Amino acid sequence: MTARAHDSRDPHQIELLQGSQEYFPALVAAMDHARSEVRLETYIFDFTGEAVEVAEALVRAATRGVTTWVVVDGVGTDALPPLWRKRFETAGVQWSVYAPLGTLGLLIPSRWRRLHRKLCVIDGRLAFCGGINILDDFHDPHHGRLNEPRLDFAVRASGALVLQAQETTAQLWWRMQGVRDMRAHHFPHAFSTLRAAGLNLPWRRAPEADTQGRKVARATLLLRDNVLNRSRIERAYRRAIAGATQEIIIANAYFLPGRRLRRALIHAARRGVKVRLLLQGRYEYFMQFHAARPVYGPLMDAGIEIHEYTASFLHAKVAVIDAGTSRAWATVGSSNLDPLSLLLAREANVVVQDSAFAVELRTRLVDAMAHGGRPVAAQEYANRPLLQRVKERLALGLMRLALFLTGRRY
């Protein structure tokens, strides 16, 4: 869907996409129409099921002369299969791995800083951002075939934020190339690539949104890194929550908000705002699953509704506030509300200030709660078994230990 904001000074055409079943066809169509370049970043690039269609689109683009860059994370993505390595090399698809683990792997805390954002920029005119990996919705690398698709979202956007997405993806690519050249002692080439990473790039004018006969919205791309944007996404959440007057709905896969974010939600509920959380209801990872449960109590005591999504895996990182009003606010992106995302990983979220877009996202989340979730009852939570409580405390302790080792406070 598309949406029109009353303020056209910051025009964007924004379309909400749910799951790989909507995201992959849109992404493939954009790649098939690319004329000059495709830049793709993802945490997971899998070659099972419908995800292969994206790989095929990359090959087609590179074969017809489109410069094609792909960056994947060294933890999230397995080694490139030999067949696809050959196909990519033959076509000219440039594949790079962010922060390969090396010998000691994740035993070194600095390697916990991962590339978790999911961005794609086509020709500097179209951008995709969200939480969806290049991974078939019905396939999980650890759990196999899923009966229902995982719940996740992305957006397709044109307008001013595309320039920022293009610059940040270009900057990361050239920095990675520069570091690689430095390690190989190719110093002259390294210096030239690192200069390119300084964003002295040929494009400077923001692409205009195609607004002829189409709706536009105000939108912003928020980035999280370990240099200039350490807390930008969390601050945006807190500001939006503080300004809420009617309703807050947050869907988040790995939910362990820090003290200030928890306090903002509790204050909102106590001043009469209806707050609903849609959280992970199926076991995926020990630490993320169990560490979230201890925060349920204080939130429910404040009147916050908690729903756990059980139809499939919840992978969404979205929120919508005051949908249908002039103050509507929504975000779709890659950032979980937990310390791994908010303190360590490279993340990207799009914030949309538009009533129609917020209503569309709210409708889908309410439907997910009604048909795929279950409410957590206060009595059920209070009477959970002792073994469950032990697992929760152990998981929370491991999370705190991890933060201590990174030197971060949360």
Specify the pLDDT at position 203: 42
Task: Select which of 140, 181, 322, 354 is catalytic.
Answer: 322
Same fold, 12-196 and 218-406: yes
231 within 8 A of 342, measured Cβ to Cβ: yes
Specify the pLDDT at position 184: 56
Q: Give the integer Cα–Cα distance in Å for 257 and 292.
A: 9
Is residue 354 part of the annotated active site? The answer reads no
Is residue 123 part of the annotated active site? The answer reads yes
Task: Select which of 123, 189, 225, 391 is catalytic.
Answer: 123
Is residue 118 part of the annotated active site? The answer reads yes
pLDDT digits (tens, 9 = 90+) for 170-204: 999 998 987 665 555 554 554 454 454 454 444 44
Task: Select which of 12, 46, 73, 116 is catalytic.
Answer: 116
Q: Which class for 155: exposed (0-12), middle (13-18), buried (19 or more C-beta within 10 A)?
A: buried
Q: Considering the entire predicted model, what is its pTM?
A: 0.90
Domain 12-196, CATH class in plain words = alpha beta
Q: Which class for 383: exposed (0-12), middle (13-18), buried (19 or more C-beta within 10 A)?
A: exposed
Q: Give the integer Cα–Cα distance in Å for 279 and 58.
A: 34
Give the helix/strand (H/E) hosting 189: helix 187-196
Domain coordinates in residue numbering, the chain? 12-196, 218-406
Task: Select which of 139, 181, 315, 338 is catalytic.
Answer: 315
Task: Select which of 118, 139, 290, 307 is catalytic.
Answer: 118
> 């103050």: which residue's tokens?
327
Task: Select which of 139, 215, 290, 317 is catalytic.
Answer: 317
Bridge partners, 154 (sequence order): 17, 130
User: Tens place of pLDDT for every residue, the chain, 410 residues?
Assistant: 544 333 334 578 999 999 999 999 999 999 999 999 999 999 999 999 999 999 999 999 999 999 999 999 999 999 999 999 999 999 999 999 999 988 788 888 888 899 999 999 999 999 999 999 999 999 999 999 999 999 999 999 999 999 999 999 999 999 898 766 555 555 455 445 445 445 444 444 445 555 444 455 799 999 999 877 889 999 999 999 999 999 999 999 999 999 999 999 999 999 999 999 999 999 999 999 999 999 999 999 999 999 999 999 999 999 999 999 999 999 999 999 999 899 999 999 999 999 999 999 999 999 999 999 999 999 999 999 999 999 999 999 999 898 888 877 77
DSSP state of 94: E
Q: Please report the beta strands in 258-391, taking only residues with DSSP state E, as ranges in sequence order.
A: 274-280, 305-309, 317-321, 329-333, 347-353, 373-375
Is residue 116 part of the annotated active site? The answer reads yes
The CATH code of domain 218-406 reads 3.30.870.10
137 within 8 A of 150, measured Cβ to Cβ: yes
Specify the pLDDT at position 212: 47
Specify the pLDDT at position 105: 82
> 């490279």: which residue's tokens?
346
